[in-house]
Structures are given as structure tokens and as C-alpha cells.
Amino acid sequence: MTSACRTRQAGFLFMNMLRVAIQSKGRLNEESLKLLKDAGIEVDDTKRKFIGKASNFPLELLYLRDDDIPGVVADGSADMGIVGYNEIAETGADVNVVRKLGFGRCRLSLAIPKTVDYQGLQWFEGKSIATSYPNVLRGFLNEKGISAEIRQIMGSVEIAPAAGIADAIFDIVSSGGTLVSNGLKEVESVLESEAVLISRKDLPEDRLEIMDSVLFRIDAIQESRGKKYVLMNIPTAKLPDAMALLPSMRSPTVMPLALEGWSSLHSVVDDASIWQTVEGLKRIGAEGILILNVDKIID
């Protein structure tokens, strides 16, 4: 009997349950829940407490502060987690990063007062730097051979230079707006981050199948991102020209139309170049062009 058999989805009696830790509130909460929803996993978020069970999948959610997620996955209290890569880098948690998720993008950067004439990393020699990410910063400074004092503070890092707490900061930057409004400028980008899906290293055998199912669904969602499905009617003689306009096309579908000399051509096209592609297709005689959203792509 496979674990899938033991997992009686219809009856909501799950002997094997995958426990996934996500942020309880904050920047990654909404996107994490949306990802699970897109993957067809229904969690009643309105009654959110510490733990929430999916109604149609053998999975339960642990709602935690992001700082706690790497640790609970590393020690096996949760099987998987969704957290910013910056937290993994800082904690050095012994987990597997199984997927990059494409949201919560940011970077950990060094920033200094905007009036400083910055000539390079040597500026930091002997300076003090305020941060909530001392381990990542220490690693970077050691690698570059810079000796600076690291002042760990837990919040409002960006006010440290103006408050006389430190000469510089090392903090998360996204748009850069917070730095500007605090009279700072970003001078070194040290670590690129985005939300990642992590798993414990010793995931029990009976939960592997459930994790594979989650990964399969997430891959289908990610594969479809930035893609459109295009259908058109085109003179059969123009098919080679149409193919040349669709370099990203995989396994094009070509079907003859009832009207002699015409074909129907279907393809998946990158969203970024959709208008350019469609204009080109129109110029070579394509008609009745339909552009559709792609929900999931299963390779």
C-alpha cells in the first residue's frame, strides 16, 4: 500500500501529513498562501491560529515569525517552510533549499550617508556598521579582508547613522526608498534574496510522496509564469515564416483548417515579447489571433 493510498483525501483522514511553516503576517504571508491556493491546496485562512489544516490535501500550516522558520524546519518540527533566502543565509540552518519562489525579492546591501564620497570597500575599514544580519555581514567582510565593527540591532537599522549609532548600515533593500528617505545611499549589494521553499533534510519516507506532489504543482505554476498561449489561422504556405517568429516555441501544434490552404497554429509564447510576436504574425497573414492566459504548464 503506498502512502497515497493510506492518505484518504475524500474523508479528510490523513495518516501522513506534511507540515509546512509559513510567515504568520508580514511581507511573505499573502504570497505564500496564494502559492498554496494556486496549487489547489485549500487552507481556511479566516480562522488562522497557530496551525491550519488544508481541507483537500494532506498538509497543515504552521504560522510563525519568519525568523523561526529555518530553525523549525532544520529540527524537524516542520517538514517544509517558505522563508526569505536572507534568513537561511543568516541562520545557516541545515535545510535543503528545494525551490526559488520568485516573490519577496530584495537584497542585503551596505549603505552609507549620501554625502560621503565613496571610492570603494576600503571606506568601511575601521568603521561601525549596524545590522540585523551580523553573520552574513561578517562573512562578507572577512572574504574582502575588511575589518569593521558590527553592531547588531534588531529593528529600524536605517536610522542608525543619523542617530550616531553606527557609520553605516547593512540591511534589506527593495525599492531603495527607505534609504533615500533616511539620507543614505546603497554602495555595495552583497546578497540577492527571494522567498524560497525549504525542506528538512531527514524528511520521513511516508511524507516524500506528499512533498513531491507539492513540488509538482508548484513547478507547473512557475513554468506558466510569463507565458501566453497563442492560437491563429495562417496560410499554410506561411507556416515556416510563422515558426521563425516564434523562437521560443516548443512542440508547435499545426492543424489543417476546412478551408484549403489554411492551417491553425497554436503555441506558447513569452509574455514579454507578445506584442512584437503578434504584430509580426499579422504582417505575414495570420488571422483570428487569440491570446490566452496560461494557468499551469505540466512538462
Residues that bind ligand PRT (CB under 6 A): 23, 26-28, 65-67, 84, 86-87, 104, 106, 158, 171-178, 193
**226: partner contacted, choices Zn ion, ligand PRT, none (Cβ within 5-8 A by kind):** none
Position 87 contacts Zn ion (CB under 5 A): no
Q: Does 90 bind Zn ion (CB under 5 A)?
A: no
Strands 80-84 and 106-113 come out as unpaired
Shortest distance in whole angstroms from residue 57 CB to ligand PRT? 24
Determine the size of the site formed for Zn ion (CB under 5 A): 2
Using the minimum distance from each CB to ligand PRT, give the nearer residue, 86 or 213: 86
Q: In the complex with ligand PRT, which residue's Cβ is closer, 106 or 234?
A: 106
- DSSP track, the chain: --HHHH-BTTTTB-SS-EEEEEESSSTTHHHHHHHHHHTT--B--TT-SSEEEBSSSSEEEEEE-GGGHHHHHHTTSSSEEEEEHHHHHHH---EEEEEE-S-S-EEEEEEEETTS---SGGGGTT-EEEES-HHHHHHHHHHHT---EEEE-SS-GGGTTTTTS-SEEEEEESSSHHHHHTTEEEEEEEEEE-EEEEEETT--HHHHHHHHHHHHHHHHHHHHTTEEEEEEEEEGGGHHHHHHH-TT--S-EEEE-SSTTEEEEEEEEEGGGHHHHHHHHHHTT-EEEEEEE------
CB of 22 to Zn ion, least distance (A): 13
Cell (9 digits) for 239: 507556416
Nearer to ligand PRT, 62 or 173 (CB): 173
Q: How far is the CB of 88 from ligand PRT (least distance, A)?
A: 10
Closest residue by Cα to residue 86 from 178, 7, 173, 6: 173
41-70 footprint of Zn ion as x/- string (CB under 5 A): -------------------------xx---
C-alpha to C-alpha distance for 220 and 237, rounded to whole angstroms:
34
Q: How far apart are CA 248 and CA 282, in angstroms?
A: 18
Start-to-end CA distance of the chain, whole Å, equals 28
For ligand PRT, give the closer residue by CB, 28 or 211: 28
The least CB distance from residue 155 to Zn ion, in Å, is 9
Query: What is the closest distance, in whole angstroms, from the C-beta atom of residue 287 to Zn ion in the complex?
Result: 55
Give yes or no for residue 206 binding Zn ion (CB under 5 A).
no
Identify which of residues 65 and 282 has a Cβ nearer to Zn ion in the complex. 65
> What does 214 bind: ligand PRT, Zn ion, none (CB cut-off 5 to 8 Å by kind)?
none
Beta carbon nearer to ligand PRT, 79 or 171: 171
Nearer to Zn ion, 66 or 158 (CB): 66
Measured from the CB atom, the residue of 41 and 88 that comes closer to Zn ion is: 88
Q: Which of ligand PRT, Zn ion, none binds 249 (CB below 5-8 Å, type-dependent)?
A: none
The residue at minimum Cβ distance from ligand PRT is 84
**Which of the listed partners (ligand PRT, Zn ion, none) does 106 bind, with a CB threshold of 5 to 8 Å by partner kind?**
ligand PRT
Residues that bind Zn ion (CB under 5 A): 66-67
